[in-house]
Amino acid sequence: MSFTESFVDVVGGKVQLLKGGSGSPVVVFHHDIGNPGWLPYYMALAENHTVYVPSHPGYGKSERPEWARNVRDIACIYQRLLKDLGLSTTAVVGLGFGGWIAAEMATMCHHEFSHLVLVNAMGIQPTRGEIIDQFLISTLDYVKAGFADQAKFAELYKERPDVDQLVQWEINREMTTRIAWKPYMFNQAMPHLIKAVTVPTLVVWGKNNRVVPRSCGERYQQLMPKAKLEVLEGNHYLEVEKHHELAQLTKSFIAGK
């Protein structure tokens, strides 16, 4: 299934945007390691929806907002992007770090979301365990830590990723450093603000997630009035390793089934 790539000006910077499919809109926010391309998960969603996958400002081919200091700054830029795209009501899927951005957006302006899907989302402090600290390990080890099956890693990134891929990860990681260094991967206000988010929310967690502890998912589910938690076999990158199951869950949830 085909997709298009375009660049849109938002808050003074260019944002790389992938788009494909048709139907009611679904916006997917990618992980902190960046978006590896038009994934089978997006293709499955695109069978029923118009799927938008922007690269976060400072990630992929999107311009870096040098002024941005925290994840809420990115969420603000994305609020403007949704308005410019004419998406007055849309479903939003946040993967990992992208889940944090989606949660921040929901706390700002939750009436714009029809559905919220948080997949292994960061952004809230775990009550048990810790979010793995990528800044203490190499990006290669960090990415691999999120795969249950290393063969799936190799399939997507090659056994020995190209240097260009390493450089792209480096650019993305620099941006993560700029906006999520401290506190690491959560917002202390999140447990308070997220309580008021009444959007129907599906929290999905990898049963053996080694990057973000399940206690984060449980907190989101417990704090949000209309959230339910689904646990899938797998690790952090469910959209790669369990793309079929995750797509089914996502589509059923958005369809209200």
Partner 1 sequence: MHLMYFTEQPMSAYPKEEGDRYGYTALLFPNKFFDAAEGSRLYNERLEEYKLVEEVGYDGIMLNEHHTAPFCMQAKINICAAILGAITKRVKIVLLGNPLPIADNPVRLAEELAMIDMISKGRLVSGFVRGGGVESLQANANPAFNRERFEEAHDLIVKTWTTPGPWRWEGNHYQLRVVNPWALPLQKPHPRIWIPGVSSRETIVWAAQHRYPYIALNLPIEESKNVWKIYDQTARESGYEPGPAERGYLIRCHVAETEEKAIRNAREFMWMQGEFTGLTHPVWAAPSGYLGPWARRAMAELRAGYTHVRGANASLERQMQNLTLIAGTPKTVIEKLRIIMEETRPSILALYGNDGRINHEDSKTCIRLTGQEVLPALREIGKSLGLESPFDLNTPVSLAYSGAQAQKPAAGAAAAN
Write out the residues near partner 1 by the rule CB under 8 A. Answer: 135-140, 160-161, 163, 166-167, 169-171, 173-174, 176-178, 181-182
User: How many whole angstroms separate alpha carbon 90 and alpha carbon 169?
Assistant: 29
- 222's enclosing H/E stretch is helix 214-223
Structure tokens at 196: 């008021």
Structure tokens at 150: 């290393």
User: How many whole angstroms separate alpha carbon 85 and alpha carbon 24?
Assistant: 13
Alpha carbon 171 to chain centroid distance? 17
CB of 139 to partner 1, least distance (A): 7
CB 243 within 8 A of CB 104: no
CB 57 within 8 A of CB 83: no
Instruction: Specify the residue, 14 or 178, whose C-beta has the smaller distance to partner 1.
Output: 178
- CA–CA distance from 57 to each of 93, 131, 143 (Å)? 17, 23, 20
CB of 156 to partner 1, least distance (A): 16
Instruction: Specify the residue, 170 or 233, whose C-beta has the smaller distance to partner 1.
Output: 170
CB of 163 to partner 1, least distance (A): 6
Instruction: Specify the residue, 69 or 207, whose C-beta has the smaller distance to partner 1.
Output: 69
CB 204 within 8 A of CB 118: yes
Largest CA distance in the chain: 45
Instruction: Specify the residue, 38 or 97, whose C-beta has the smaller distance to partner 1.
Output: 97
CB of 116 to partner 1, least distance (A): 30
Instruction: Specify the residue, 149 or 170, whose C-beta has the smaller distance to partner 1.
Output: 170
CB of 54 to partner 1, least distance (A): 22
CB of 172 to partner 1, least distance (A): 9
Instruction: Specify the residue, 84 or 133, whose C-beta has the smaller distance to partner 1.
Output: 133
Structure tokens at 6: 């375009």
